[in-house]
Structure 1
Amino acid sequence: MKLSALKSSSISPQYKCRSIPQFRTHETFACKRFPRSSFLSPATTTKKLRNGLGDNLRHKGTAWRRIDLQGRPVAFEFYEHDAGPPQRNDQLVKVDDGSVSVILMSHSSKKRAGSKIPNQYLQLRGQPMARWSFATLLAMREVGEVIVVCDLDWRHVFEEGFENTSQNGNLPFLGKRVKFVEAGQDRQSSLIAGFREVSEEIALVAIHEVERPLVTQDECSRCFLDGISFGASVLGVPVKPTIKQVKNYGFVVRTLERSALMEVQSPQAISPTTLREVLDIIVRHNISGTDEMSIVEALGKPVKVSQGEYTNLEVTSRDELAIAEQILEERARPEVYA
Structure 2
Amino acid sequence: MAQEVRGVVSLEKGKPVSVETIVVPDPGPGEAVVQIQACGVCHTDLHYREGGINDEFPFLLGHEAAGVVESVGEGVTEVAPGDFVILNWRAVCGECRACRKGKPWYCFNTHNAKQKMTLTSGQELSPALGIGAFVEKTLVAAGQCTKVNPAVTPQVAGLLGCGVMAGIGAAINTGGVGRGDSIAVIGCGGVGDAAIAGATLAGATTIIAVDTDDRKLEWAKGFGATHTVNARSTDAVEAIKEATDGFGADVVVDAVGRPETWKQAFFARDLAGTVVLVGVPTPDLKAPEIPLIEYFGRGGSLKSSWYGDCLPSRDFPMLVDLHLQGRLPLDKFVSEEIGLDDIETAFEKMHHGDVLRSVVVL
TM-score, structure 1 as length reference: 0.28
Structure number having the greater strand percentage: 2
Larger radius of gyration: 1
